[in-house]
A and B are shown apart, each in its own frame.
Chain A
Amino acid sequence: MNIWLGYLNEALIIGMFALSVNVLIGYSGILSIAGVATGGVAGYLAGYLSAMHGWAFLPCLFVGIGAGALIGILLSLPALRLSAEYVLMLTLAFASVIVSALVAIPALGGQNGLLGIMPVHIGGKILLRPDELLEFIVPLTAICFLACWRIIYSPFGRVLKGIREEPDAVRALGKNVLSYQVIAFAASSAVAAVGGVALVFYNQLASPTLFDFNVATLVIAIAVIGGLGNLWGSMVGALLLVSLQPILEKIVDVNPSSAVLWQAIVYGLLLLVIVRLRPEGLIPERASWRGLRSALARSRRKASPAEAIAPVAVAPSLPSQNGNAAAGVSLKAHGLEKHFGGITAVSDLDIELSPGMITALVGPNGAGKTTVFNLLTGQIPPDRGEVELGGASVSGLPPHRVVARGMARSFQDVRTFTRMTVLENVMLAVGEQTGESLPALFLRPLAVRRRERQVREWALECLGFVGLSEQADERAGNLGYGSQKLLAVARLLATGCDVLLIDEPASGIDREALEPVMLVMERLRASGKTICLVEHNLEVVTRLADHVLFIEDGKVTETGTMDDIRKQPRLATVYFGHHG
């Protein structure tokens, strides 16, 4: 029996590593294999303190966690500026350096490892046998699991999932993407550190082979096989793969030395099969009892017409973040200029937007209309020029700060978070959520819950405004393109911003879907928002725009109403081609 408990212990420890991998790869989309090595550093550190200085388990654990989180932060700073394959390379190099350094440093016992680590005491009892060791492994695993759970299923986790799909969109909705990723990296590393310390104390030995590349491979295999994006999957995967060897050995009666090999072969093959046939792993991300139930409920309910629009007046129950929603906010920019290499994308551009008005930017493709949006929102810093929002300069601020000042933009290619629900898409966009801070998540759960309820209500209201209430629980990726355009508007609305820059709200959608979009635009204008559109569909512009800026080669060449623009034969030629 004790043998099985021993394997259970091992599975739980490996499971902690898999959780850490899952938080990073599964939820944040950062492909890092540094976790096990980070656990190694933490484990060695804890082991060293225990063996050489006689520290007790708990202080060692905390030092280990601190070290792990620190490594995570340090590692994330260069890693997050790199493309995915370089992150992989960086973490591979990191892992290799760590493992070879563990071997190379004489004080750490070289290949043989660090011996003499004190066993764990709980209340004066020394834990030695597997069933006794379970007493400290189980709580540790449970804590890691719950912590990961809390992080993933929170506003913080929601933003992470958004970043995994569309980092630019998350940034444009006012979130500091980098800080989320750094924190995710640190949290994942801290969990790996717990695993590392547990492993060292469990074995009463810190040796390089506990943390080498084979272990890293196994852990990734577990996370992938169990299901990236599902925490239960990681635990189930760990139990499955770790128990494979004893099962082969004791039950199938393979001799011990080949059981290890068979275990590796089976998990290698399983990995290939899973990646090929079931990339979401054994337990996919959205698998949950509740999900199953609501899917059943949905299928019983009659499908409502997708584009039905329920006219609801917007009631801004949340004050917009800069507090002057009632007054309306105007935007002024002058002298904007941007060069890309030798190409002048935008030069000497002035633009003014006022509340309750829709301004449209029109012009031929490549004239720099979207670049103007990028410059206004800080997505791309302008070479020259000033942007003023409600009288205060926002020049040089990064996108998420611009959003906090009250200006948000949407993208031409909607950038829906397709794997989240419609409601989650909108909830993500709401600013200043208590649950987006990890300390608050753990220390102020009630405040988090209260705020989450408000956020939910506000998001539902925004959805109602664009007529998507019915689809709130649907997966956003299942929406039609027209509805996704509306969803993008709902997200903008949810940020609470007063100045909305909307990139091609009508492109790529069919005629029936056009009407709801236009209605929403008109209703936004009526509610006092300051709106700027980039749009090619002149029917839309003619109906919506109060003011039109005609942009050619990065310059405003004409302003006025659409009728004014139409009357200019030259512009007609530039824009409409020959039949103007």
Chain B
Amino acid sequence: MGAGFGLIYGVTGRFHFAFASTFLAAPLGAVLLNEAGVPLVPAIVVGVAIGMLLGVLIEIVVYRPVAERSRDYGLLAIFVSSLGVTVVVENVVRLIWGSNYRNLPTGFGVSPIKLGSGVTASNLQVVGVVVAVVLVGGLWAYLRWSRRGVAIRAVSSNPDLAESVGVSTRVMFALVFAIGSLLCGAGAIVFAMEKAVIPDMGTSPTFFAFVVAFVAGTKSGPLRFGLTGLAIGVLQSVILIWVSEVWQEVVVFGILFFFVALRPVFEGGSLPWLRPGRRAPA
């Protein structure tokens, strides 16, 4: 999830808040198909595909024209339109399918597994970890070795140059949105199996994806995203055990806050506002 957002943001520079929509669309698609009698595995595959399709559509129909039109105000325009998409998708879903919880069956019995002393995890969570590892590993391999992967990295580091050597940034952006949404959708399926499908399920994970992406550094590789995601996940569980659930978000976002706030310090060497000549105003 974090890797997906990071990929999209790092490559295209689009502040894709509507990730939440994909996060909702994939499991919702799966649930609805499943309820309509489609077997679970194809339903999940189609669900993820729907999520990918939505991601790509958002890029092509919404972001691209906006970005090409407003160069200077790009960030604001993209952010605002992604808010718009999120709001629309969430509420259309509520309107059509209601705001109720829906459960996505797992297809296997969920049972706790003991992992050493006192630490338990359900087999579902293990599946989740495996899925995450496979996806992040796959993404890493893809970016590293495939032709397209190289092209994506080229677009990421210098879009104009990539364009001039014949890589279409438009195609690559769309591809990146597809891959990012794939990761997101897969994550969302596991999430939905563990919890439930509700229309606003996407918001909070999207925030967490922001945290992962920005803490890891938006232009870094998938492995770093994976590790950062893991670290934040561990941190969350630690807080859950030692403090309480309500403090989870406070701490995670607090970390993000200080991380971002102190960035100039890391980069500038000293506290920048103490440097002579750049004093904060009296």
Binding site for B on A (CB under 8 A): 25, 31, 77-79, 81-82, 84-86, 88-90, 92-94, 96-97, 100-101, 103-104, 110, 176, 178-179, 182-183, 213, 217, 220-221, 224, 258, 261-262, 264-265, 267-272, 275-276, 279, 378, 381, 396-398
Known: A82-B263, A271-B83, A279-B73. A178 touches B280 (CB 8 A): yes
Chain A residues near B142 (CB-CB < 8 A): none
Note all chain B residues with C-beta closer than 8 A to A25: 76
Q: Does B115 touch A at the CB level, under 8 Å? A: no
Contact residue among A81, A178, A267 (Cβ-Cβ distance under 8 Å from B281): A178
What are the interface flags for B70-87 relative to A under an 8 Å C-beta threshold, 1 for contact and 0 otherwise?
100101110111011111
Given contacts A93-B256, A101-B250, contact A220 B83 (CB under 8 A): yes
A422 CB → nearest B CB, Å: 21
Give residues in B with beta carbon < 8 Å to A.
13, 15, 62, 65-66, 69-70, 73, 75-77, 79-81, 83-88, 90-92, 94-95, 203, 207, 210-211, 214, 244, 246-250, 253-254, 256-257, 260-264, 272-273, 276-281
Contact A85 B75 (CB under 8 A): yes
In the complex, what distance in Å separates the CA atom of A264 from the CA atom of B95? 11
> Quick check: A268 and B257 within 8 Å, CB to CB?
no
Q: How long is the Cα–Cα vector from A178 to B84 in the complex, in angstroms?
A: 32
Measured CB to CB, the closest approach of chain A to B172, in angstroms, equals 20
Cβ contacts A to B, 12 pairs, < 8 Å:
A79-B261, A82-B263, A86-B263, A100-B246, A100-B247, A178-B280, A265-B87, A268-B87, A272-B84, A276-B66, A279-B77, A381-B277
- Distance from B240 Cβ to chain A, minimum over Cβ atoms (Å): 13
Q: How far is the CA of A289 from the CA of B276 in the complex (A)?
A: 46
Instruction: Kindly list chain B residues whose C-beta atoms are within 8 Å of the C-beta of A396.
Output: 276-277
Closest B residue to A279 by CB, please name it: B70
Contact among A100, A217, A258 with B250 in the assembled complex (CB-CB below 8 Å) = A100
User: Do B85 and A268 touch (CB < 8 A)?
Assistant: yes
User: Could you tell me if B260 and A398 are in contact, using CB atoms closer than 8 angstroms?
Assistant: no
Instruction: For the complex formed, measure the closest distance between the CB of B61 and the CB atoms of chain A, giving whole angstroms.
Output: 9
Shortest beta-carbon contacts, A-B, top 10: A179-B281, A271-B84, A268-B87, A100-B249, A268-B88, A78-B261, A96-B253, A104-B246, A93-B257, A93-B256
In the complex, the chain B residue whose C-beta lies closest to that of A397 is: B277
Query: Given A86-B260, A224-B80, does the pair A264, B75 have CB atoms closer than 8 Å?
Result: no
Residues A88 and B257 in contact in the complex (CB < 8 Å), given A103-B246, A221-B83, A261-B95: no
Q: Which residues of A contact B261 (CB under 8 A)?
A: 78-79, 90
CB contacts (< 8 Å) of A272 on chain B: these are 62, 81, 84-85, 88
- Asked if A264 meets B91 with Cβ closer than 8 Å, knowing A31-B79, A104-B247, the reply is yes
Residue from A81, A176, A275 in contact with B81 in the complex, judged by beta carbons closer than 8 Å:
A275
Q: Are A265 and B91 in contact (CB under 8 A)?
A: yes
B77, A267: Cβ atoms closer than 8 Å: no
Instruction: List, in ascending order, chain A residues with CB within 8 A of B80's CB.
Output: 220-221, 224, 271, 275
Chain A residues closer than 8 Å to B210, beta-carbon distance: 89, 92
Query: Among B66, B69, B90, B279, which residue has its beta carbon within 8 angstroms of that of A264?
Result: B90
Q: A111 — nearest CB in chain B belongs to which residue?
A: B246
CB contacts (< 8 Å) of A90 on chain B: these are 257, 260-261
- Name the prevailing secondary structure of the A interface residues: helix
- Residues of B with C-beta under 8 A to A176: 281
Specify which of A97, A269, A396, A398 lies most central, judged by the most chain B CB atoms within 10 Å of its CB.
Answer: A97
The distance in angstroms between the C-alpha atoms of A84 and B277, with both chains bound, is 23
A530 to B126 alpha-carbon distance, docked (Å)? 74
Q: Which residues of B contact A183 (CB under 8 A)?
A: 281
Say how far A368's CB is from chain B's closest CB, in angstroms: 21
A84–B87 CB distance below 8 A? no
Q: Which residue of A lies closest to B282 (CB)?
A: A179
Most buried by B among A79, A270, A271: A271
Min CB distance B169 to A, Å, is 19
CA distance A221 to B81 in the complex (A): 9
CA distance A44 to B42 in the complex (A): 49
B253 touches A97 (CB 8 A): yes
The distance in angstroms between the C-alpha atoms of A5 and B250, with both chains bound, is: 37
Known: A276-B65, A276-B66. A85 touches B91 (CB 8 A): no
Measured in the bound complex, the distance between the Cα atoms of B248 and A110 in whole Å is 14
Closest approach, in angstroms, between the C-beta of B10 and any C-beta of chain A?
11
Known: A31-B79, A97-B253, A272-B81. Is A261-B91 also a contact (CB below 8 A)? yes
Expressed in whole angstroms, the Cα–Cα distance for A217 and B88 within the complex equals 12
Residues of chain A with a CB closer than 8 A to B247's CB? 100, 104
B204 to chain A, nearest CB (A): 9
CA distance A97 to B253 in the complex (A): 6
Chain B residues contacting A96 (CB-CB under 8 Å) are 207, 249, 253, 256
**How far, in whole Å, are A179 and B257 apart by their CA atoms in the complex?**
22
Which of A31, A97, A264 contacts B87, CB < 8 Å? A264
Q: Distance in Å from the Cβ of A27 to the closest Cβ of chain B?
A: 13
User: Cβ of B277 and Cβ of A81 under 8 Å apart?
Assistant: no
Q: Which residues of A lie under 8 Å from residue B88 when comparing CB positions?
A: 264-265, 268-269, 272
Inter-subunit contact B250/A104 (CB<8 Å): yes
Residues from chain A with Cβ under 8 Å of B256 in the complex: 89, 93, 96
Which residue of A has the minimal Cβ distance to B261? A78
Query: Quick check: A267 and B87 within 8 Å, CB to CB?
Result: yes
* Minimum C-beta distance from A32 to chain B (A): 11
Residues of B within 8 A of A261 (CB): 91-92, 94-95
In the bound assembly, the distance between CA atoms of A224 and B263 in angstroms comes to 29
Give the Cβ gap from A397 to chain B, nearest Cβ, in Å.
7
What's the Cα separation between A45 and B124 when bound, in Å? 43
Alpha-carbon separation in the docked complex, A160 to B146 (Å): 48
